[in-house]
Amino acid sequence: MRQDSQPGVSSAPRSRGFFAVGMILAVLLLVGVGETFLRYFPPTDNREYLGEASPLVGPYMPDGTLGVAYRSWEAFRDDNAERLAPYLPLDKSDGRPTWAMFGSSFVHMQGMLADTVRQELPRVRVFNLGRSEALVVRIAQARLLLEHGFRPERIFLALMPLDMAILGQQPLDTIRVTSKGAITYAPRLPPAPFGNLIQKSALVRTAWFRTQQHQGNPRFRYLQLHREMPKGLRNDASRLFGELARIGQEYAVPVTLLLIPTHEQIAKGAAFAFQDDLGPLCRDLGLDVCDPRSAFLGYPNKADLFIPDKHFAPPGNQILLRELQKHLHQEVVQGGGPS
């Protein structure tokens, strides 16, 4: 009988030993395969946090004020070729005043408002680039357009709390534009030694990212904007809208911020901390602010204002436009500029 097949106390530790060896072999093999794979093919949710190692490319460059700017006019034009084409050259005019309508996320929301303006106010030419863009990019676009001769009658920036959510999660000082022109973010890392391990291992890094703790403010939830505007976000808003106000004044183009209330605020009674904080802040910076909340709150059948995905239905967009026109008329009466 073979020595190692004899039953007895001595065979159990050997079995455990071989078991452990087998387990270590499997762990090393699979960890090696996984580590190699992730180094060459990082998951899509990691790519914004890989800095220069990110495969993302873009038309941007770093900017001291906004964090992001376009590398050049050509880069911006090529990135928005199809949607910008009808508006070129920028000084093209059909005799109608131009309203430059910018929104941030939710291209459908901003698109529907722009379409409502086109239908209801044919005397106005609407400039709208569509496509969801981060707020910083949208303001960078406005600045670039004005620098290259675009002179709308007025710039409108439609803003909802969700548009600021990305800044709430990733403050301006975490933005890193790579040499390939992509917008990435510096990941939040735990202290050493775990932080060092995250930087060295693609597997550990991915695990950290999947816990969502890598974000600049991992505890931020956009719904808290109904209750309060965090101090860091307020500072970033001051920087961004301060720049918007500056370029508006520099090129003598009035800028109106349209603070759009959310479904939660209109139909569910959520508070208006976002608008209550941002409105006065932006007015102090020199921007015109339109807050149409009372028209929505006073609407008898609030469910009619929304489509199932909580964007505004036509009645909602019509109210927005009506309130905007009333606001602009008041602005003109008070000497704020052309209507």
Using rule CB under 8 A, residue 23 touches another protein? yes
User: Which residue from 66, 114, 203, 240 is in contact with another protein, where contact means CB under 8 A?
Assistant: 203
The distance of closest approach from Cβ of residue 7 to another protein in the complex, given in angstroms and rounded to an integer, is: 9
The distance of closest approach from Cβ of residue 233 to another protein in the complex, given in angstroms and rounded to an integer, is: 24
Residue with tokens 């097949």: 5
The distance of closest approach from Cβ of residue 18 to another protein in the complex, given in angstroms and rounded to an integer, is: 4
User: Which residue from 57, 88, 207, 303 is in contact with another protein, where contact means CB under 8 A?
Assistant: 207
Using rule CB under 8 A, residue 24 touches another protein? yes
The distance of closest approach from Cβ of residue 113 to another protein in the complex, given in angstroms and rounded to an integer, is: 23
Rounded CA-CA distance 40/51 in Å is: 15
Using rule CB under 8 A, residue 194 touches another protein? no
Of 223 and 307, nearer to another protein (C-beta) is 307
Using rule CB under 8 A, residue 21 touches another protein? yes
Rounded CA-CA distance 23/37 in Å is: 21
The distance of closest approach from Cβ of residue 314 to another protein in the complex, given in angstroms and rounded to an integer, is: 16
Residue with tokens 């505890």: 219
Using rule CB under 8 A, residue 267 touches another protein? no
Taking Cα atoms as reference points, which of 183, 174, 100 lies closest to residue 144? 100
The distance of closest approach from Cβ of residue 305 to another protein in the complex, given in angstroms and rounded to an integer, is: 16
Stretch that binds another protein, among 10-18, 262-270, 310-318, 324-332 (CB under 8 A): 10-18
Stretch that binds another protein, among 22-30, 100-108, 170-178, 274-282 (CB under 8 A): 22-30
Rounded CA-CA distance 59/169 in Å is: 23
Using rule CB under 8 A, residue 16 touches another protein? yes
Cβ neighbours of residue 300 closer than 8 Å, sequence gap 6 or more? none
The distance of closest approach from Cβ of residue 306 to another protein in the complex, given in angstroms and rounded to an integer, is: 12
Which x/- pattern, by CB under 8 A, does the window 29-68 give for another protein? -xx-xx--xx-xx-xxx-----------------------
CB 109 within 8 A of CB 165: no
The distance of closest approach from Cβ of residue 51 to another protein in the complex, given in angstroms and rounded to an integer, is: 18
Report how many residues bind another protein under the rule CB under 8 A: 33
How many CB atoms sit inside 10 A of residue 173's CB?
13
Stated as kind and residue range, the H or E segment containing 3 is none
User: Which residue from 106, 127, 209, 274 is in contact with another protein, where contact means CB under 8 A?
Assistant: 209
How many CB atoms sit inside 10 A of residue 320's CB?
25
The distance of closest approach from Cβ of residue 211 to another protein in the complex, given in angstroms and rounded to an integer, is: 10
**If you ran DSSP here, which 8-state letter would residue 10 be given?**
T
Of 34 and 336, nearer to another protein (C-beta) is 34
User: Which residue from 104, 137, 308, 324 is in contact with another protein, where contact means CB under 8 A?
Assistant: 308
Q: Which amino acid is at 78?
A: D
Phi-psi region of 225 (alpha: psi -120 to 50; beta: other; left: phi over 0): alpha
9 CB-contact burial (10 Å; exposed 0-12 / middle 13-18 / buried 19+): exposed
For residue 282 the two structure tokens come to 């932006």
Rounded CA-CA distance 214/209 in Å is: 5
User: Which residue from 39, 96, 180, 210 is in contact with another protein, where contact means CB under 8 A?
Assistant: 210
Q: Which amino acid is at 302?
A: K
Rounded CA-CA distance 331/339 in Å is: 8
Which contacts of 298-303 are long-range, i.e. CB under 8 A and separated by 24 or more positions?
299/266, 302/266, 302/267, 303/267
User: Which residue from 65, 132, 206, 318 is in contact with another protein, where contact means CB under 8 A?
Assistant: 206
Binding stretches for another protein (CB under 8 A) = 4-5, 11, 14-16, 18-27, 30-31, 33-34, 37-38, 40-41, 43-45, 203, 206-207, 209-210, 308
